[in-house]
Amino acid sequence: MRSPARRVLYCDESGYHINWRAVRESDYPSKAEFLADCGSRTSYSTTSMRKEAIPLSKLTSCQYSKDKYDEDQFFIRLVFEGVRNLDIKLMNKNDWEYCMDGFESISKNKDKFAKPPTQEAWKTDKYQPVVWEYAPGKTCNVGCGNSLEDIFIISSCYISLWSVLVGFFALLLKGAMDTDDKSTLLMMFFAFGIIFVALVALSVITGQIEVEENRKKKARQGLDEDDI
């Protein structure tokens, strides 16, 4: 708290980590309110270096100073296990109470905020999607949430898939041309197509029969269709 800075605390898209960034003009209803809160205060900084996200599952307690609270200074200290503490000064009592209740609830249920092991293998805190910042504070997710590496892998997979399909259809075309006299290959694939359509239709009909039987069973038991 020696050099206070205005920051925006937020939870990432996964819901398992919190992070903070520099305040932006777009965070305020108007430019006048932004300048009144940050622009005219030399003690506040509106620049911020990139910070590592803090896992909410490491939050052990949410502390405050009663002396400062009595003096209308609304400070909160978030204590994390194995991570440095995070000191926050709120603007008013309502924000202070809101944050205290929220972070205390998280600390008591921190197991629910543990990141599933299945996601650790492919999604890390340093994952950087491709984003185009076309204006200050305004970005466009051109990579659809994917990094450059993932875009390359996905593109390679699509190119490989379509290459195989083009090669396969070229092989079919050659086979059709070689058996052009009696069209043996075309007739064979026509037969396979009919068999495939028949199997799909049979699966659909069977599924509808099962759904209808379940509906009749629930009706006999006096249950609604949404009941299990």
Least reliable range by pLDDT among 86-90, 103-107, 181-185: 181-185
3-class secondary structure, 103: helix
Task: For 8-61, write each residue's pLDDT tens digit.
Answer: 788 876 778 888 777 777 777 888 877 777 765 444 444 555 567 788 888 888
Q: Which CATH class is domain 7-123?
A: mainly beta
Nearest partner of 110 among 56, 67, 69, judged by Cα: 56
Q: How big is the chain by its Cα radius of gyration, in Å?
A: 30
Domain residues of the chain, as ranges?
7-123, 179-221
Report residue 106's pLDDT band, with 50, 70 and 90 as the boundaries. confident
* Maximum pairwise Cα distance, the chain: 98
d(CA 109, CA 4): 30
Task: For 130-188, write each residue's pLDDT tens digit.
Answer: 888 887 777 788 878 788 888 899 999 999 999 998 888 888 788 878 877 777 777 77
| pTM, to two decimals | 0.44
Please report, in angstroms and rounded to a whole number, the separation of the first and last CA atoms in the chain.
55
d(CA 70, CA 78): 19
